């Protein structure tokens, strides 16, 4: 087992889940000195409280009393990571919610243990020896993939530009024996990816499209497309400086696609996986694309540039057109695309869009089940006309301040015709503050829920 979990150890400090129902019986099982100490400390069940119980040779154990009720934190046990001294711990009983609550506690603890230590040494976190009753390998698979993707998002652009993001994708492909190809620079024009080239040509590193395939050709086709804008100045429609501070995270869509791909390949799900990552930097230079420019797309539709800060949908358009040519059975698209999505639903609840009511219900239910929530917004047909161009097939932004996330999704829909089922996720890719299971910084949203959905459809995972 990797460093995410500690191996089983007789020296692990026990953690007991405490609630109003089990506390009377648990009090009888604990040493009298521990119960007396808890009483003297005023410990009572609930409120996400914890208590370190002293013993003759250090810590005897930990009492943890998670909140109950509809507002209880599913990953509340992650609070213990910052509260406990380094060492090895183990959960020795089930919380009130039973087996699922125990799995949530382990997952929350593991996700909370993430530290970004590329530039500054991080303090050592406590380790958890997972209970035998849970599928630790599955949890480890998800947490490892998420940690890798969080690292990508947290790394600033001077070390995570297009070259580095491409290298990370190719490294992951190599680990799992996947095939890959990369189309860079002028080759994008020769191979008909004009929008990717236009957006990224002003960057110091060439724009590119990474194409990774894995699995048997005979298996169901699952395609993942992720926006890889390694930094977004806004282009000639430049962002204010305050809006640029987090733009290293504008490649979180690509990082999310890679995280989900890692989970799928590591689980050996019986699918034909394809990952498409259009990777650019939206920079400012003499050859930057301009407001008012009109470019052809891979699909053939011409696009007038209403705003150079709406670049993500442009590079996705060419990638989606390529993906769609393959007629995938399922296609999932990830992008930090609009501020309007954050205004509507905040940073923790990404909106998603799909033409399939069946898939939409399945996605939303799975998200709630695994505590990776998303919320479906409509592809509202009357708004599609807002994208019609006067001197081009379409414009990349609507002429107005309303429904920005919906019109962006409608723009992407224009480039999808053959995919049997698809969903697009307008993610934030960042935790503004630390919460259990979600440390401040780069975040992966929707990957766990889609891994669970695909594992249910195509294999145990």
Q: Is residue 6 part of a domain?
A: no
pLDDT tens digits for 221-233?
999 999 999 999 9
Within this chain, do residues 112 and 167 fall inside the same structural domain, yes or no? no
Task: Give me the catalytic one of 115, 148, 239, 457.
Answer: 239
Query: pLDDT averaged over the chain?
Result: 96
Q: What is the pTM of this model?
A: 0.97
- 373 CB-near residues (< 8 Å, 6+ apart): 348, 349, 367
The answer, yes or no, to whether residue 460 has pLDDT greater than 70, is: no
Within this chain, do residues 182 and 243 fall inside the same structural domain, yes or no? yes
Pairing assessment for the beta strands 294-296 and 302-304 based on DSSP bridges: antiparallel
Within this chain, do residues 57 and 108 fall inside the same structural domain, yes or no? yes
pLDDT tens digits for 242-274?
999 999 999 999 999 999 999 999 999 999 999
Rounded Cα distance, 184 and 207, in Å: 6
Within this chain, do residues 119 and 256 fall inside the same structural domain, yes or no? no
Are 238 and 288 within 8 A, CB to CB? no
Q: What value, to the nearest 5°, has the Cα angle with vertex 196 and ends 242 and 331?
A: 95
Domain boundary among 101, 134, 167: 134
Are 308 and 291 within 8 A, CB to CB? yes
Residue range(s) defining the domain that contains residue 419: 141-458
Domain count, the chain: 2
Share of the chain above pLDDT 70, in %: 99
Residue 461 is predicted with a pLDDT of: 58
Burial 30-59 (b: 16+ CB within 10 A, else e): beeebbebbeeeebebeebbbbbbeeeeee
The answer, yes or no, to whether residue 396 has pLDDT greater than 90, is: yes
Within this chain, do residues 437 and 398 fall inside the same structural domain, yes or no? yes
Rounded Cα distance, 204 and 282, in Å: 10
- Is 239 a catalytic site residue? yes
Q: Is residue 2 part of a domain?
A: no
Within this chain, do residues 52 and 184 fall inside the same structural domain, yes or no? no
Q: Is residue 277 part of a domain?
A: yes
Q: Is residue 8 part of a domain?
A: no
Percentages of the chain per state (helix, strand, coil), in multiples of 5? 35, 20, 45
Within this chain, do residues 147 and 115 fall inside the same structural domain, yes or no? no
First to last CA, the chain: 17
Rounded Cα distance, 35 and 19, in Å: 15
| Beta-bridge partner residues of 274 | 213, 223
Rg (CA), the chain: 24
Are 87 and 13 within 8 A, CB to CB? yes
Binned at pLDDT 50, 70 and 90, residue 1 comes out as: very low
The answer, yes or no, to whether residue 216 has pLDDT greater than 90, is: yes
Within this chain, do residues 70 and 175 fall inside the same structural domain, yes or no? no
Within this chain, do residues 52 and 145 fall inside the same structural domain, yes or no? no
Domain boundary among 103, 134, 165: 134
pLDDT tens digits for 277-306?
999 999 999 999 999 999 999 999 999 999
CATH number of the domain that residue 113 is part of:
3.40.220.10
Within this chain, do residues 122 and 154 fall inside the same structural domain, yes or no? no
Once rounded to an integer, what is the mean pLDDT over residues 205-214?
Answer: 98
- Is 57 a catalytic site residue? no
Domain boundary among 86, 117, 134: 134
Q: Is residue 1 part of a domain?
A: no
Q: Is residue 4 part of a domain?
A: no
Task: Give me the catalytic one of 79, 221, 313, 414.
Answer: 313
Q: Is residue 53 part of a domain?
A: yes
Rounded Cα distance, 234 and 290, in Å: 11
Within this chain, do residues 335 and 401 fall inside the same structural domain, yes or no? yes
Share of the chain above pLDDT 90, in %: 92
Once rounded to an integer, what is the mean pLDDT over residues 100-119?
Answer: 96
- What's the sign of the alpha-carbon dihedral 250, 119, 441, 226? positive
The answer, yes or no, to whether residue 67 has pLDDT greater than 90, is: no
Q: Is residue 77 part of a domain?
A: yes
Within this chain, do residues 362 and 219 fall inside the same structural domain, yes or no? yes
CATH number of the domain that residue 216 is part of:
3.40.630.10
């Amino acid at each position: 087992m990797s460093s995410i979990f500690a191996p089983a150890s007789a020296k692990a400090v026990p953690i007991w889940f405490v609630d109003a129902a089990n506390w009377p019986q648990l009090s009888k099982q604990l040493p009298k000195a521990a119960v007396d100490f808890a009483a003297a400390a005023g410990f009572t069940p609930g409120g996400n409280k914890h208590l370190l119980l002293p013993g003759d040779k250090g810590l005897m154990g930990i009492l943890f009393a998670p909140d109950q009720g509809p507002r209880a934190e599913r990953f509340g046990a992650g609070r213990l990571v910052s509260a406990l001294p380094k060492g090895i711990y183990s959960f020795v009983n089930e919380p009130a919610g039973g087996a699922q609550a125990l799995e949530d506690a382990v997952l929350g603890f593991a996700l909370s243990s993430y530290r970004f230590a590329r530039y500054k040494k991080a303090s050592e976190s406590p380790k958890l020896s997972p209970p035998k009753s849970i599928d630790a390998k599955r949890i480890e698979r998800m947490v490892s993939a998420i940690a890798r993707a969080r690292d990508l998002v947290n790394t600033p652009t001077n070390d995570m530009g297009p070259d580095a993001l491409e290298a990370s994708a190719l490294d992951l492909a190599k680990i799992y024996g996947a095939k890959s190809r990369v189309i860079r620079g002028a080759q994008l024009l020769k191979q008909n990816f004009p929008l990717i080239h236009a957006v990224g040509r002003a960057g110091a590193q060439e724009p590119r499209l990474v194409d990774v395939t894995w699995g048997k050709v005979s298996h169901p086709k699952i395609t993942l497309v992720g926006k890889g804008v390694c930094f977004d100045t806004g282009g000639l429609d430049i962002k204010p400086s305050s809006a640029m501070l987090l733009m290293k995270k504008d490649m979180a869509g690509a990082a999310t696609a890679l995280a989900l791909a890692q989970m799928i390949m590591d689980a050996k799900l019986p699918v034909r996986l394809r990952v498409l990552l259009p990777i650019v930097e939206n920079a400012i230079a003499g050859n930057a694309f301009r407001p008012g420019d009109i470019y052809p797309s891979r699909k053939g539709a011409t696009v007038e540039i209403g705003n150079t800060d709406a670049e993500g949908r442009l590079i996705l358009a060419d990638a989606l057109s390529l993906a769609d040519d393959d007629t995938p059975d399922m296609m999932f698209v990830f992008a930090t695309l609009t501020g309007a999505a954050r205004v509507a639903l905040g940073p923790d609840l990404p909106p998603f869009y799909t033409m399939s009511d069946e898939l939409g219900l399945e996605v939303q239910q799975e998200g709630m089940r695994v505590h990776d929530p998303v919320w479906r917004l409509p592809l509202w047909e009357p708004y599609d006309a807002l994208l019609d161009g006067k001197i081009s097939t379409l414009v990349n932004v609507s002429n107005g301040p309303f429904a920005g996330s919906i019109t962006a999704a409608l723009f992407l829909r224009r480039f999808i015709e053959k995919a049997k089922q698809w969903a697009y996720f307008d993610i934030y890719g960042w935790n503004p503050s630390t919460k259990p299971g979600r440390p401040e910084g780069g975040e992966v949203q929707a990957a766990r829920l889609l891994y669970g959905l695909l594992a249910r459809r195509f294999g145990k995972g």
